[in-house]
Amino acid sequence: MKSTLLLAIGSLALGAVPLSAQYEGTVPLVLKLPGGARALGLGNAFTAGRGPEVIFYNPAQIGLNRGTTLSLQRFGSASTLGALSTAGPFGKVAIAAGVQYLDYGADLTGLTPEPGDLTRRGALNAASLVAGIAVQYIWKGVRFGAGAKYAEERVATGRDGGLLFDFGAGREFGNVTLALAVQHVGSDIGFAGYQAKVPTRVSLGGALPRTRLGTFFDLGLAASVARERDGRIVPAAGAELVYAPVDGWTFVARAGVRRTADGSSVTRAESPVSVGGSFGLDRLWVDYAFEPYKGPGATHRIGIRIQ
């Protein structure tokens, strides 16, 4: 009864807004969230990352590691994010596909929250979805990638979406990978009676993939700097320490920092610090990441990867 009432109020609220009004935020919300447990553990500095989840960051990087990953992220007990992605070479190109789905609660205004608000569930059932494919081709030693995806936001009974595109390039300079990505390019999405911008971002990333540190230890580094649609510059960096005592057994500890945006309230926000870890047994990996939140709740992400 209560939920029906809230739904009715929400629908009324959405219906009260003129269609031509411009929404100040960006949607879909899922595009502003990490694409995988490893990426979250590295502070979301994954523009030059590798692995199937890199489809959510840079299509130019999808051909570096063949595999499939499935992950689930909980924001307190309020929201849940699930992701599935796969990547692999097909002849001279690499192809990847990925889907992310966020279940959360929007507040009665019907507007989507910021990622920092996800540990609090609003009254209206909402979901955010992105599903896409990407292709990568190497030309003169440079990896070029392009992706197309459908993204949508659903709040209460309202549902709007659109087609977006990603572009990227990357190459190795010695042991360092440098990569550039332009993500979420597309026209505004009609959403909840608003015209909402998509969260287009340009990011430049670098990564030093596992470099031997000692007999049983490797170190990996990642960094990126992104310009968000609202003009914010978001630097991020992460490091992972790998312990490989015996062939096929791998333990990884990671930590990352990034600039985060406040939530809708000063009492809520994502933490700039995240940590994580992985355990790999041959081709099977379990990944985990944790990010504390300002205010109540925190987020945990766990993933399974076959690589």
The answer to whether 215 contacts other proteins (rule: CB under 8 A) is yes
Supply the minimum distance, in Å, between the C-beta of residue 238 and other proteins: 23
Q: Using an 8 Å Cβ cutoff, are 186 and 199 in contact?
A: no
User: In the chain, where do the E strands start and end?
Assistant: 21-26, 67-75, 79-90, 93-106, 124-139, 142-155, 158-173, 176-185, 189-191, 194-197, 201-212, 217-227, 233-246, 249-258, 269-270, 273-281, 284-294, 298-306
Supply the minimum distance, in Å, between the C-beta of residue 204 and other proteins: 24
Residue in this structure with the two tokens 């609003």, named with its chain if needed = 122
The answer to whether 249 contacts other proteins (rule: CB under 8 A) is yes
Q: Indicate the residue among 212 and 232 with the shorter CB distance to other proteins.
A: 212
Map the footprint of other proteins across residues 122-141, applying CB under 8 A.
141
Q: Indicate the residue among 18 and 141 with the shorter CB distance to other proteins.
A: 141
Six token digits for residue 245 = 């005592």
The answer to whether 246 contacts other proteins (rule: CB under 8 A) is yes
Map the footprint of other proteins across residues 73-112, applying CB under 8 A.
none
The answer to whether 244 contacts other proteins (rule: CB under 8 A) is yes
The answer to whether 216 contacts other proteins (rule: CB under 8 A) is yes
Question: Would you give the DSSP letter of residue 36?
Answer: S
The answer to whether 235 contacts other proteins (rule: CB under 8 A) is no
The answer to whether 245 contacts other proteins (rule: CB under 8 A) is yes
Selected range binding other proteins among 96-104, 157-165, 238-246, 287-295, rule: CB under 8 A? 238-246
How, if at all, do strands 201-212 and 142-155 pair? unpaired
How many amino acids of this chain bind other proteins (CB under 8 A)? 10
Give the separation between CA 236 and CA 280, rounded to whole angstroms: 25
**145 Cβ contact list (under 8 Å, min separation 6):** 58, 59, 60, 61, 62, 134, 135, 136, 137, 166, 167, 168, 169, 170
The answer to whether 248 contacts other proteins (rule: CB under 8 A) is yes
Supply the minimum distance, in Å, between the C-beta of residue 55 and other proteins: 26
Instruction: Point out which residues bind other proteins (CB under 8 A).
Output: 141, 212, 215-216, 244-249
